[in-house]
C-alpha cells in the first residue's frame, strides 16, 4: 500500500508503520557531570548505534490475538514497550487506540511498603480505572487472586507469585481494549498459571479484546493466539497464522 496512511481508528487496533528503534550505546557510561565534560572536551563521546528494530510494520485489528516470538534480544520487548507507550520509536509511527492493560513485569507498579489493598487502588489508578470501578470490583479482584486473607499485609511480605496474582487480577478484571502479556505467566504456581491462561483465553474468545502475547513457549502461542509475528534480530521475519509461524520459528536452524 504505497503512500496510504493507515490509522488505528477503532479501540483495540494497533498500527505499527515502518518502526525503527535505535539505541545509542555509549562506549562508556557517564554518570557524572565531570566525566561527561571531560569526555566532551576531549571529543571522546563515542556512540555505537544499535538497531533493536529495523523498519518493522504490521497492523493489528480489534479482537485479534497475536503472539510475538523471537529469540532473546530480538526486539520483542522493545516492540511491546513501544506499543505500550513507554518508549517512543526513533523512526516510524505507532498508533494504538483504546485502553491498554499491560502485563509487563507483573507487579512493577506496586509499592512494597503498602498493603495489598492500598496497592490495588494505586495500581488501578495507574491503569486508568475509575475509583468507583475499583470500589465496586474490589472483591472480585481479590477473589480471582485467591488472597482474601492477605489484604492488609504489606506487599513486602508477599511472595513473587502472590504479587503476580494480584497484578494479573487487577489488569484483567474487566475487558481492556488491548491486553499486553509479556511472559507474565511464567511466575506463579501451576494452578494459577492455568487459571491465567484460561482467563486470557476468555478474553481472546470474547473478541472484544486485542491480545498481544509474548511467550517462549511455542505451544502456548499456538494455544492462545490466532496469529503470530516473528521478530528476529530486529527484523520482521514472518507474520501469519499462529500455527504456521510458530512452527517455522520452532524449526529455525541456528
Partner 1 sequence: MSQNTATELAPKKIKDGDAWYPTSQRDMFVVRQLVTKDFKLKYRRSVLGIAWSVLNPLLMMLVQAAVFTRLMVRSDTSIPNFPIYLILGNTAWSLMSDATRQGMESIIHAQSLLKKVRINRWVFPVQKVLFAVVNYTFSLAAVAVVMAAFGWTLSPWALLLPLGVLYLTIFCIGLSLLLSSLAVFFRDVIHLWGVVLTAWMYLTPLFYSVSILPDWMASIMRFNPMYLYITFIRRILLWKMAPGLLVHGGCIGFALLMLGIGYAVFRKTEDRFILFI
Q: Considering only residues 125, 156, 189, 250, which one is a binding residue for partner 1 as defined by CB under 8 A?
A: 125
Distance between CA 26 and CA 38 in Å, rounded?
15
Helix (H) or strand (E) holding 243: helix 242-250
**Measured from the CB atom, is 134 or 236 closer to partner 1?**
134
Closest residue by Cα to residue 120 from 161, 84, 85, 152:
152
Tell me, residue by residue from 72 to 101, as one string, x for binding to partner 1 by CB under 8 A and - for no binding: ---------x--xxxxx----------xx-
Size of the residue set binding partner 1 (CB under 8 A)? 48
Q: Considering only residues 39, 57, 59, 105, which one is a binding residue for partner 1 as defined by CB under 8 A?
A: 105
Q: Does 138 bind partner 1 (CB under 8 A)?
A: no
Closest residue by Cα to residue 211 from 178, 186, 183, 184:
178
Give the bridge partners for 102, in sequence order.
180
Q: Does 195 bind partner 1 (CB under 8 A)?
A: yes
Angle between helices 160-171 and 116-127 (to 10 degrees): 40
Q: Does 129 bind partner 1 (CB under 8 A)?
A: yes
The total of other beta-carbon atoms located within 10 Å of residue 223's CB is: 16
Q: Considering only residues 108, 135, 160, 186, which one is a binding residue for partner 1 as defined by CB under 8 A?
A: 108
Q: Considering only residues 10, 28, 91, 113, which one is a binding residue for partner 1 as defined by CB under 8 A?
A: 113
Q: Does 151 bind partner 1 (CB under 8 A)?
A: no
Q: Considering only residues 121, 153, 223, 252, which one is a binding residue for partner 1 as defined by CB under 8 A?
A: 121
One-character DSSP codes across 35-103:
HHHHHHHTT---EEEEEEEEEEEEEE-TT-EEEEE--TTSSHHHHHHHHHTSS--SEEEEEE-S-EEEE
Distance between CA 87 and CA 78 in Å, rounded?
8
Q: How far is the CB of 21 from partner 1 (least distance, A)?
A: 11
Distance between CA 17 and CA 82 in Å, rounded?
12
**Measured from the CB atom, is 137 or 246 closer to partner 1?**
137
Residues within window 24-83 making contact with partner 1, judged by CB under 8 A: 30-34, 36, 81
Q: Does 140 bind partner 1 (CB under 8 A)?
A: yes
Give phi and psi for 187, each to the nearest 5: -100, 170
Q: Applying CB under 8 A, which residues contact partner 1? A: 11, 23, 30-34, 36, 81, 84-88, 99-100, 102, 104-105, 108-109, 111, 113-114, 118, 121-122, 125-131, 133, 140, 143-144, 146, 174-175, 195, 198-199, 202-203, 206, 208
Amino acid at each position: 500500500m504505497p503512500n496510504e496512511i493507515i490509522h488505528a481508528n477503532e479501540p483495540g487496533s494497533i498500527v505499527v508503520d515502518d518502526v525503527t528503534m535505535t539505541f545509542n550505546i555509549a562506549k562508556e557510561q557517564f554518570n557524572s557531570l565531570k566525566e561527561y565534560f571531560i569526555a566532551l572536551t576531549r571529543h571522546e563521546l563515542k556512540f555505537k548505534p544499535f538497531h533493536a528494530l529495523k523498519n518493522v510494520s504490521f497492523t493489528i485489528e480489534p479482537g485479534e490475538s497475536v503472539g510475538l516470538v523471537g529469540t532473546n534480544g530480538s526486539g520483542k520487548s522493545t516492540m511491546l514497550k513501544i506499543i505500550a507507550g513507554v518508549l517512543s520509536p526513533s523512526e516510524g509511527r505507532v498508533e494504538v487506540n483504546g485502553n491498554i492493560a499491560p502485563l509487563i513485569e507483573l507487579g512493577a507498579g506496586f509499592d512494597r511498603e503498602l498493603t495489598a489493598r492500598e496497592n490495588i487502588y494505586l495500581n488501578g489508578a495507574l491503569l486508568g480505572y475509575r475509583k468507583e470501578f475499583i470500589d465496586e470490583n474490589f472483591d472480585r479482584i481479590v477473589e480471582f487472586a485467591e488472597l482474601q486473607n492477605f489484604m492488609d499485609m504489606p506487599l513486602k511480605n508477599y511472595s513473587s507469585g502472590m504479587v503476580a496474582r494480584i497484578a494479573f487480577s487487577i489488569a484483567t478484571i474487566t475487558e481492556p481494549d488491548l491486553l499486553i502479556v509479556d511472559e507474565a505467566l511464567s511466575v506463579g504456581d501451576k494452578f494459577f498459571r492455568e487459571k491465567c491462561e484460561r482467563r486470557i483465553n476468555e478474553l481472546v474468545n470474547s473478541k472484544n479484546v486485542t491480545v498481544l502475547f509474548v511467550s517462549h513457549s511455542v505451544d502456548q502461542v499456538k494455544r492462545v493466539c490466532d496469529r503470530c509475528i516473528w521478530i528476529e534480530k530486529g527484523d520482521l521475519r514472518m507474520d501469519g497464522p499462529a500455527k504456521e509461524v510458530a512452527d517455522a520459528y520452532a524449526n529455525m536452524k541456528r
